[in-house]
Structure 1
Amino acid sequence: MKSWLAKLTASQRVGMLLFVLIVVFALAGPLIHTASPFAIDAERLLPPSEQYWLGTNAIGQDLFSQLMHGSRTTLYIGLMVALISTFLSASLGLLSGYSNRLGLAINGLANMMLVLPSLLLILIVASFTGGGTWQLILTLSLLTWPGYMKLIRASVLSLKEREFVKAAQLYQGKTWYVLYHHLLPFIWPLVRTKFIIAFQTAVAMEASLSFLGIGNPSTVSLGKMLQDAFSRTQTFLNDAWQWSIVPPALVILFVTVALALIGEKAVTANRGGIELPGKERRAKRKTSLPQQPAGDQPSAVAVRDLQVAYGVKTIIYPISFEVKRGQITSLVGESGSGKTTMARTLYGLTPVESVSGSIVVNGHAVYPSDGRLSTLQRWGDAAYIFQDPRSSFNPIMTLGAQFYETMQLQTSLREKKAAAVAALAEVQLGEHVLALYPHQLSGGMLSRALIALALVNKPKVLIADEPTGALDPIVKREVFDLLVSKVKEHRLTLLLITHDLPAALHISDEIIVLQDGVQLHGEQKQRYLHNGKQLFQQAVSV
């Protein structure tokens, strides 16, 4: 409790205290002051006294009792509208941003709702339903969700392209799992703001509509009290306005001010541990695989007539090659030659409609010809190391939570932690790294952690796309040597995408050269490698 309060600013604490006092007044007040808010058992327009703490209204009802019950009604309507409207904004925003099929439909519905005249709809609903409390709650809820839904959708559209979301999809995390664990924490500030604004709006709207006579006439609310007071001319002929208008107006003001103070941005500390997911694996389906080429040594990666095209633009022209088990194969080429597209296609990250030909990784067809799901177990059969380690990790989850999330060989938390510690030790990182967040590690440490994450499930094939591209030369060489040593130690098959031609020539069993999406062979390939070595030697001599 103390740690939670410590995260609040001074203004938030004041707002929280004020709001709690109002809630206690609304809920516990009727237990102390037991007078009925509907009873007409006193003189009209009595001033405050020991029996009637705020006097009586124009028909002899106890105003203090009405203030307590009215506050309860107004808070109830505000809370329910905020909950329903926020749930709709968050859930529909997540779905419309994450799902291409639902996105256009939900966004179109939101656009239509935004142009509808809200007050006219409320008047129509109140006329046909009698203005009941729940009719008002549902009407306000359905009219207030589209605005923030579009903000949340825009955030999700950006977030779903981040590498850590792609990584979550690669280990076959289900849609609801990715939305809840990886996207919802990012949009939580928007959700919190939406809840508070919806609460404030609902309180103000309820008071305004009740003041206009729209609402349930059989209930007491703060707006209904103001409507009754202003509709009686006697209220302003004496001092009755002081206890019939000022108190409900002040409660409405205090509620909105308290919510505004609570909604101020807190100086939050690092988030704690995130609940670990259970097993979320899809059952393997039998698919027809292309035949493996004959040979003494089986192929870990077999590519046949692979072509990648986005619409009319061809990125990778037909290419065929094999990567033998236990070998290191480097894929080199100039920037824009299609290396990263090739790597992502081998791992199944390219849309199916853009790919033709066949790819077999560790005996599994990545793009089955019969249209079924690939049986390739990502992080198990093959693992992928992205270019930028800082964007590959979820910034609001500890590294430990992200390690445990991808583990497939262990079941209990103790086993997962032991395996994660062992994997980190192999890359010269300590156990304390599991409790840290990505922003607390340097680029070199994150690169090491990403290598450990890729190796923790003992994959047969490792695809590394410029794994040291974001590092300085010294750290780059250290991480590069570490990756190669671990690949040889575990006897993995490595497909390395790199610009470092001398390093590729030094460590590789085979080199594949791409130029403008075309694989070079024979004399063209030798000329490219020779020119690359000469340029490197000239750069070193300078």
Structure 2
Amino acid sequence: MLRYLGLGILLIFVVIALIAPLISPGDPHAYKGPMLSAPNDEYLLGTNDVGQDILSQLIYGSRTSLFIGITVGLISTSLSVGLGLLSGFNRKLDPYIMGLCNTILAIPNLLIVIIIVAFTGTNLWNVIVVLSLLTWPGYARIIRSEVMSLRERDYVKAVSTFGAKQNYILYKHILPGISSLAVVKFINTAQSAIVAEASLSFLGLGDVTKISWGMMLHYAFESDSTFISSAWQWWVLPPTACITLLIVSFAFLGYGKDSKKISRRTLNNKKVTKEDSKSELLSNETLLNIKDLEIKYLINTNQKKHKFGHKTAVNKASLTVHKGEIMALVGESGSGKTTIAKSLLRMLPSAQVSGTIQFKKNSVLDMTANEYKKLRWVDISMIFQDAKQSLNPVMKIGDQVDEVLVYRLGMKREHARSRTKGLLNDVGLDQSVINKYPHELSGGMCTRAVISMALACEPELLIADEPTSSLDTITRKKVLQLLKSKVDQFNLSMLFITHDMGVVAEMADTVAVIKNGEIVEDGSVWDVFDSPEHPYTKELIGSRNTSEFYKVSVKG
């Protein structure tokens, strides 16, 4: 309600400013009336000490205040957004841009404005340029922080993996995510600029050739007659009220509501039998071979002395995935499951990765960046853990699926849209989903949309990182069945990451158990469930979740 009230007040001022020559009773500069005339039929708001019509000046003054507020707001917001984007996304430019920000923030702005305007002249554009250049750093730092956060989101990493250029990512995926910050920045800066102009004009540093509310107050307070008579009532109060109303209207524009949806996770029942395991029927063709994989992160071991060391996230891990196989990588949170998955996509730029990762007998770690770009999403694709986090919240579903087809397969937009409709239909989504945003879909529908993106290029290896962890029982079962059917339909292999042994029993042909970055046991689902060897595997199988909720039973 307040936002609409603010918009209404602002629109009234804008209309008044635009049609000022049509509605003004006379020339605001003319000296036609009697001095300090009280409001009457001819001069509705009276006159000042030189006979100028106050109502005319008030109407024309709206032009100056709005022009300065909007112009400074646009220039300053553009600088904040542009430099904040570059600083947050480009690590090379970040120190220089932030250094400039810190320097400007250390300067007392009002003092600098007064000094510069006093020496360069009171031209209106001097005020605009100075205010614009001094008001961008604060929000640039905030935008930089948000960009650095968005840069690590799954949907941004996903679009990076299929070869989108930096400018496209910034414009299409990062910029919409900071649009609300840009709006707040514009509103706050416009408010500040209006107040700053009024303050400078009041101090006599405004443009004397322009009528403004600040200049009206300056002349009112300079006159000896203002406060020894009742003239202050029609000379001081109207411009003060207008400045206040305009600032309040901008403030009200910033009001809004955010809503969040919370998904709840529930469990289902599953029994495991030997018939569920088809590992003996799998192809002997090796698709993915990981041997002695070691991944280390650089960490600060002593903050006071700034000493750094390495923390091992994955230690000598070895896995083999065959053509047409569903392998489950199971372990508790923090065990290294997702780290292994991201190493396959080379999404760990700050980590030290050693060992061997071979995909179709080609070394992934030895590939050049351009060679590996051709692999992502075409031969290897990934379903990230939280489907809603993997989708850009400000892009329609259809546009996000189109991106994969356009950038990875080189399709034209119209052909991509036709293919998108088919992909969404294949995962059981209605055509209306194309024009919907992620927040308009349920968790299961978002998961299906992400699956359609992952399958768009018909990859040979699909990595599914706990895709059903946030879904309810019924939806989870449907999604698992969908994934399993797509494995059979496209004859692809899948590395299914989970911490849930019940899901392992339902989905996998083979399973690898990981603990503290080490593969402690692997084999067919039947062998691992029937005769677990490692204590940790026995603990997972015998856990409360598995025994009570899933009621796992082994039948020969």
Superposition TM-score, scaled by structure 1 size: 0.81
Correspondence for 2:354 among 353, 356, 359: 356
Which residue identity lines up with residue 26 of structure 1 in the other structure? A
Question: 1:201-223: per-residue Cα shift (whole Å, max 9, x none)?
Answer: 21111111111111223332211
Query: C-alpha separation between the residues in 1 aligned to 2:552 and 2:458?
Result: 41
Match of 2:496 in 1: 496
SS of alignment partner, residue 542 of structure 2: helix
Closer, same or farther in 2 for the Cα pair 1:178/1:369, shift >3 Å?
Answer: closer
Closer, same or farther in 2 for the Cα pair 1:260/1:358, shift >3 Å?
Answer: same
Correspondence 1:535 to 2:542: yes
SS of alignment partner, residue 100 of structure 1: coil
After TM superposition, give the deviation of residue 121 of structure 1 in Å: 0.6
Taking the TM superposition and a 5 Å limit, the aligned residue runs for 1:185-224 are: 185-224=176-215
Correspondence 1:97 to 2:95: no
SS of alignment partner, residue 209 of structure 1: helix
Match of 2:329 in 1: 331
> Does the CA-based 8 Å contact 1:366-1:375 persist in structure 2?
no
Query: C-alpha separation between the residues in 2 aligned to 1:62 and 1:445?
Result: 64
Match of 1:265 in 2: 256
> Does the CA-based 8 Å contact 1:361-1:376 persist in structure 2?
no
> Does the CA-based 8 Å contact 1:365-1:375 persist in structure 2?
no
Which residue identity lines up with residue 490 of structure 1 in the other structure? F
Query: C-alpha separation between the residues in 2 aligned to 1:260 and 1:504?
Result: 54
> Does the CA-based 8 Å contact 2:176-2:394 persist in structure 1?
yes
SS of alignment partner, residue 86 of structure 1: helix
Match of 2:297 in 1: 310
Taking the TM superposition and a 5 Å limit, the aligned residue runs for 1:408-419 are: 408=406, 409=409, 411-419=411-419
Closer, same or farther in 2 for the Cα pair 1:416/1:376, shift >3 Å?
Answer: closer
> Does the CA-based 8 Å contact 2:521-2:533 persist in structure 1?
no
Taking the TM superposition and a 5 Å limit, the aligned residue runs for 1:222-301 are: 222-265=213-256, 299-301=286-288
Of 384-393 and 469-478, deviating more is 469-478
Correspondence for 1:121 among 112, 122, 128: 112
Query: C-alpha separation between the residues in 2 aligned to 1:538 and 1:31?
Result: 82
Correspondence 1:153 to 2:152: no
After TM superposition, give the deviation of residue 397 of structure 1 in Å: 3.2
Query: C-alpha separation between the residues in 2 aligned to 1:244 and 1:164?
Result: 57
Correspondence 1:392 to 2:390: yes
Closer, same or farther in 2 for the Cα pair 1:503/1:235, shift >3 Å?
Answer: closer
Closer, same or farther in 2 for the Cα pair 1:498/1:50, shift >3 Å?
Answer: closer
Closer, same or farther in 2 for the Cα pair 1:507/1:528, shift >3 Å?
Answer: farther
Query: 5+ unaligned residues in a row in structure 2: which ranges?
Result: 260-282, 299-309
Match of 1:463 in 2: 463
Which residue identity lines up with residue 527 of structure 1 in the other structure? E
Which residue identity lines up with residue 458 of structure 1 in the other structure? E
Over aligned residue pairs, what C-alpha RMSD do you find? Answer: 3.6
Match of 1:476 in 2: 476
After TM superposition, give the deviation of residue 501 of structure 1 in Å: 5.0
Question: 1:249-288: per-residue Cα shift (whole Å, max 9, x none)?
Answer: 23212212322333332699xxxxxxxxxxxxxxxxxxxx
Which residue identity lines up with residue 30 of structure 1 in the other structure? P
After TM superposition, give the deviation of residue 449 of structure 1 in Å: 3.0
Of 222-231 and 318-327, deviating more is 318-327
> Does the CA-based 8 Å contact 2:297-2:350 persist in structure 1?
no
After TM superposition, give the deviation of residue 82 of structure 1 in Å: 1.2
After TM superposition, give the deviation of residue 128 of structure 1 in Å: 1.9
Of 75-84 and 324-333, deviating more is 324-333
Which residue identity lines up with residue 514 of structure 1 in the other structure? I
Which residue identity lines up with residue 329 of structure 2 in the other structure? L
Which residue identity lines up with residue 235 of structure 1 in the other structure? T
SS of alignment partner, residue 207 of structure 2: coil
Query: C-alpha separation between the residues in 2 aligned to 1:453 and 1:535?
Result: 36
Of 69-78 and 443-452, deviating more is 443-452
> Does the CA-based 8 Å contact 1:364-1:376 persist in structure 2?
no
> Does the CA-based 8 Å contact 1:131-1:216 persist in structure 2?
yes
Match of 2:428 in 1: 428
Which residue identity lines up with residue 246 of structure 2 in the other structure? V
Query: C-alpha separation between the residues in 1 aligned to 2:522 and 2:72?
Result: 71
> Does the CA-based 8 Å contact 1:54-1:63 persist in structure 2?
yes
Match of 1:403 in 2: 401
Correspondence 1:69 to 2:60: yes
SS of alignment partner, residue 177 of structure 2: helix
Question: 1:186-235: per-residue Cα shift (whole Å, max 9, x none)?
Answer: 33333222222221221111111111111223332211111112101023
Query: C-alpha separation between the residues in 2 aligned to 1:104 and 1:360?
Result: 38
After TM superposition, give the deviation of residue 367 of structure 1 in Å: 3.6
> Does the CA-based 8 Å contact 1:306-1:356 persist in structure 2?
yes
Match of 2:517 in 1: 517
Query: 5+ unaligned residues in a row in structure 1: which ranges?
Result: 1-8, 269-295
> Does the CA-based 8 Å contact 1:125-1:131 persist in structure 2?
no
Match of 2:129 in 1: 138
Paired residues in the alignment total 508
Match of 2:262 in 1: none
Closer, same or farther in 2 for the Cα pair 1:443/1:230, shift >3 Å?
Answer: closer
Query: C-alpha separation between the residues in 1 aligned to 2:552 and 2:489?
Result: 34
Of 524-533 and 427-436, deviating more is 524-533
> Does the CA-based 8 Å contact 1:367-1:374 persist in structure 2?
no
SS of alignment partner, residue 16 of structure 1: helix
Query: C-alpha separation between the residues in 2 aligned to 1:490 and 1:57?
Result: 84
Query: C-alpha separation between the residues in 1 aligned to 2:552 and 2:250?
Result: 67
After TM superposition, give the deviation of residue 173 of structure 1 in Å: 2.9
Query: C-alpha separation between the residues in 2 aligned to 1:240 and 1:437?
Result: 58
Of 474-483 and 514-523, deviating more is 514-523
Correspondence for 2:76 among 64, 71, 85: 85
Question: 1:349-398: per-residue Cα shift (whole Å, max 9, x none)?
Answer: 11165222443445765444667673334222211012222322233433
> Does the CA-based 8 Å contact 2:287-2:323 persist in structure 1?
yes
Closer, same or farther in 2 for the Cα pair 1:376/1:309, shift >3 Å?
Answer: farther
SS of alignment partner, residue 235 of structure 1: coil
SS of alignment partner, residue 373 of structure 2: coil
Closer, same or farther in 2 for the Cα pair 1:510/1:70, shift >3 Å?
Answer: same
Which residue identity lines up with residue 193 of structure 1 in the other structure? V
Correspondence 1:23 to 2:29: no
Identity of aligned residues (%): 40
After TM superposition, give the deviation of residue 505 of structure 1 in Å: 7.0
Correspondence 1:162 to 2:153: yes
> Does the CA-based 8 Å contact 2:325-2:492 persist in structure 1?
yes
After TM superposition, give the deviation of residue 167 of structure 1 in Å: 1.9
Which residue identity lines up with residue 348 of structure 2 in the other structure? T
Correspondence for 1:379 among 367, 377, 380: 377
Which residue identity lines up with residue 468 of structure 2 in the other structure? T
After TM superposition, give the deviation of residue 245 of structure 1 in Å: 2.3
